[in-house]
Every structure is written in structure tokens, then in C-alpha cells.
């Protein structure tokens, strides 16, 4: 049985296959409507979500399966003190596969050690968000028709932004990837990502405070929200939350073929005036999340694609 806790749980070949299946689902959705008949997905969300939970649930429904679950810890027996391990043992008796989000780093890994069904990490604290990364990779593949030879700007909260950590971990396995890490000093990428992932894999990267100086070099600009929920004091959050605001003016220096991604939700970091720019891909990206999650559910349940 396979779980998806960290994006490294998938080989590059497996990721490429998931992207291929997701693209086939986009093109021929009718071929997939009964693939998960009589199967159940449980979505256990101990932390808020719009895209991840609803796209997982829609993915299972579009595959002909059913969905159970909860969207906040307070409506589960976690509020009475039940452990994650016990919750997983119980839900594994009701569902065939579980997607789980938890504020504590490592909680989905703990869950996977006790689970009798596949566990998907749908985000654990400031740590990882592998299915967002699959969504990002599908989007980059659709927009650029490649996952190598890219200069990727990651901008905003690189310290707490789990989507950034997972994306870097995934992208270092492709050829000729360069990163421009754009953040305020207080929100720089953690040292363990630099040492264990970027430097260990000899990846070219620079760290900078300035989006304007580097926007013209980028193939991909991945904007992120400052993660209010991970700050220890409100004052620091208020000081940093509007550090970067991407607007039409800043985009004047960007390339015509730039792709702008954002895992969403957005707060102020992308002005709404950018939404109609052909380079803005973030709403397409959110939609892509459903297709790649359909492909992932099929893979983890060992249900063949359409070939
Ligand atoms: N991108 C993402 O994880 O969004 P949600 O928090 O709405 O699921």
C-alpha cells in the first residue's frame, strides 16, 4: 500500500504518469465517471481549506465514488481528545482512502503508520503540501509544455509557505532548474531546505528582497500569501503582509511568456487588476487541482487509467 506524505514518495516517472493521466481526464472526462464506483474517500480536515478539500471531494465524485469526512477539528472527536492515530484506525474501517490536513507537522506521517488504507497529506502545518505540488507541476506542464529548463521565482512567505517547500523538493529533480528566492529577511527559506535540498542537489539559486529587480528573468513567478496563522504575533504579520503586491506596473518588466502561479488563497499579494492578464494562471491552477487529484486517487487505489 502506498501513501503520499511527501512529494518524494513519488518518483519522477510516477509524477510524469500522474500528469499524463490528469491530462487524459481533462480531455476525456466521460471515460472516468465510473472508475471509483462503490469506493469512498474520507476528507479529514483539522485545518481550514477551500480548494484542497473541495477538489478532493469533487475528484472522487467525478470518478463515481462517494465522500465522507469533516471540515474542522471541532466537529470531530478530536475536540474530545481523540488521537490522530485512533481517528485514522476508525476512519480506515469506513473509507478506502483518506485525505488529511492537520496543523501539526508530521501528523499525516503518524497517521500513515497506523492506517490500513492509503493516506494523502493534504497539508501539514508549515511543512509539506504534496498534492498542491502535483497541481503546480500539472499547471507548469500545461503552460510551458516542459518541467525542465526553467527559472522559477518564489515570492513572499518562503519560511512558512509549505507549498514552496514541496515545490522546491519536486523541481530539483528536473534538469536545469534555477530558483530566485524573493522574500523579506524574516521570511527567508528555511536553512534545511537550502542545505538538504538546494545545495545537496547543486541547484543554482539566489536570495533577494527585490521582486522588481528579478521579475524580467523568470519563466514562472510563484506568488505566496504571508501565512498569518503561523505567526506568533500580530505585529510582525501586519508589518510583513503587504511586502509584495504584484500589480500591472511591476508586470511591465516581466516577459511576455511569464506564467504567474499562486496556490491561493490570495490576500493582497496579487492585485485583482492582474487577473485578466494572459500570464495569470492561478485560477486555471486551482481547477487543475481536481484533475491531478483524480489521477492520484486512481493510482493509490490501484485502479488503472484509461489505457
Ligand atoms: N492551496 C490550498 O491549499 O488552498 P486551500 O487552503 O483552500 O485548500
State residue 160's pLDDT score.
87
Is 306 within a domain? no
3-state helix, strand, coil in the chain (%, to 5): 45, 15, 40
Residue 74 phi/psi, 5-degree rounding, is -65, -20
Give the helix/strand (H/E) hosting 214. helix 211-214
At 228, which CATH number?
A: 3.40.50.1370
Q: Cell 476512519, residue?
A: 91
pLDDT digits (tens, 9 = 90+) for 117-162: 999 999 998 889 999 999 999 999 999 999 999 999 999 999 988 8
- Whether residues 135 and 279 share a domain: the answer is yes
Is 2 within a domain? no
**Which residues does the chain have with pLDDT short of 50?**
307
- Whether residues 78 and 146 share a domain: the answer is no
- Whether residues 79 and 40 share a domain: the answer is yes
State residue 227's pLDDT score.
78
Ligand 1 atom nearest the C-alpha of 264 is: 1
Beta strands in 194-277 (DSSP E): 204-208, 220-223, 259-261
Q: Is 116 in the pocket of ligand 1 (CB under 6 A)?
A: no
Is 1 within a domain? no
Ligand 1 atom nearest the C-alpha of 54 is: 8
Domain count, the chain: 2
Is 158 within a domain? yes
Give yes or no for a contact between 100 and 111, defined as CB atoms under 8 angstroms apart.
Answer: yes
d(CA 82, CA 68): 18
Q: Say what the pTM is.
A: 0.95
Is 295 within a domain? yes
Is 307 within a domain? no
- Whether residues 231 and 113 share a domain: the answer is no
147, with CB counted inside 10 A (0-12, 13-18, 19+), is buried
Provide CB contacts within 8 A for 164, sequence distance 6+.
154, 157, 158, 189, 222, 224
- Whether residues 200 and 171 share a domain: the answer is yes
Q: Is it true that the peptide bond before 265 is cis, omega within 30 degrees of 0?
A: yes
Q: 57 lies in which domain range?
A: 7-128+289-300
Distances, alpha carbon 253 to alpha carbons 12, 216, 218, 249, in Å: 33, 5, 10, 8
State residue 162's pLDDT score.
86
pLDDT digits (tens, 9 = 90+) for 261-279: 999 999 999 999 999 999 9
- Whether residues 137 and 281 share a domain: the answer is yes
- Whether residues 258 and 296 share a domain: the answer is no
d(CA 81, CA 121): 21
- Whether residues 108 and 159 share a domain: the answer is no
Provide CB contacts within 8 A for 92, sequence distance 6+.
98, 115, 116, 117
Is 294 within a domain? yes
Q: Which residues are catalytic?
A: 51-52, 80, 101, 129
Q: Is 249 in the pocket of ligand 1 (CB under 6 A)?
A: no
Q: Do strands 177-182 and 150-155 pair parallel, antiparallel, or not at all (unpaired)?
A: parallel
- Whether residues 281 and 146 share a domain: the answer is yes
Is 79 within a domain? yes
Q: Is 55 in the pocket of ligand 1 (CB under 6 A)?
A: no
Q: Cell 493516506, residue?
A: 119
- Whether residues 152 and 282 share a domain: the answer is yes
Distances, alpha carbon 6 to alpha carbons 156, 192, 210, in Å: 22, 15, 30
| Spacing, Cα 47 to ligand 1 middle (Å) | 10
Q: Is 52 in the pocket of ligand 1 (CB under 6 A)?
A: yes
| Spacing, Cα 202 to ligand 1 middle (Å) | 31
Provide CB contacts within 8 A for 46, sequence distance 6+.
72, 73, 76, 78, 100, 101, 102, 103, 107
- Whether residues 108 and 142 share a domain: the answer is no
Q: Is 264 in the pocket of ligand 1 (CB under 6 A)?
A: yes
d(CA 250, CA 178): 21
State residue 10's pLDDT score.
97
- Whether residues 14 and 121 share a domain: the answer is yes
- Polymer length in residues for the chain: 307
Amino acid at each position: 500500500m502506498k501513501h503520499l506524505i511527501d512529494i518524494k514518495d513519488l518518483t519522477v516517472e510516477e509524477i510524469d504518469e500522474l500528469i499524463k493521466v490528469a491530462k487524459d481526464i481533462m480531455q476525456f472526462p466521460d471515460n472516468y465517471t465510473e472508475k471509483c464506483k462503490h469506493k469512498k474517500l474520507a476528507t479529514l480536515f483539522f485545518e481550514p481549506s477551500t480548494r484542497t478539500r473541495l477538489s478532493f471531494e469533487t475528484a472522487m465524485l467525478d470518478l463515481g465514488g462517494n465522500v465522507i469526512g469533516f471540515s474542522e477539528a471541532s466537529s470531530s472527536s478530536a475536540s474530545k481528545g481523540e488521537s490522530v492515530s485512533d481517528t485514522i484506525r476508525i476512519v480506515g474501517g469506513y473509507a478506502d482512502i483518506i485525505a488529511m490536513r492537520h496543523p501539526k507537522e508530521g501528523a499525516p506521517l503518524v497517521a500513515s503508520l497506523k492506517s490500513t488504507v492509503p493516506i494523502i497529506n493534504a497539508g501539514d502545518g508549515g511543512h509539506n503540501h504534496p498534492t498542491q505540488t502535483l497541481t503546480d507541476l500539472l499547471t507548469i506542464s500545461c503552460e510551458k509544455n516542459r518541467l525542465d529548463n526553467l527559472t522559477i521565482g518564489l515570492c513572499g512567505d518562503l519560511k512558512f509557505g509549505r507549498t514552496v517547500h514541496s515545490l522546491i523538493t519536486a523541481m530539483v529533480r528536473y534538469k536545469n532548474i534555477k530558483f530566485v528566492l524573493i522574500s523579506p529577511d524574516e521570511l527567508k527559506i528555511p536553512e534545511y531546505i537550502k542545505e538538504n535540498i538546494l545545495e545537496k542537489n547543486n541547484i543554482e539559486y539566489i536570495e533577494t528582497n527585490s521582486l522588481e529587480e528579478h521579475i524580467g528573468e523568470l519563466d514562472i513567478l510563484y506568488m505566496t500569501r504571508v501565512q498569518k496563522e503561523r505567526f506568533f504575533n500580530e505585529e510582525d504579520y501586519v508589518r510583513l503582509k503587504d511586502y509584495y503586491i504584484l500589480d500591472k506596473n511591476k508586470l511591465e518588466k516581466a516577459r511576455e511568456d511569464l506564467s504567474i502561479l499562486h496556490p491561493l488563497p490570495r490576500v493582497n499579494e496579487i492585485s485583482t487588476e492582474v487577473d485578466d492578464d494572459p500570464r495569470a494562471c492561478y485560477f486555471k491552477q486551482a481547477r487543475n487541482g481536481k484533475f491531478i487529484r483524480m489521477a492520484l486517487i486512481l493510482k493509490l487505489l490501484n485502479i488503472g487509467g484509461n489505457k
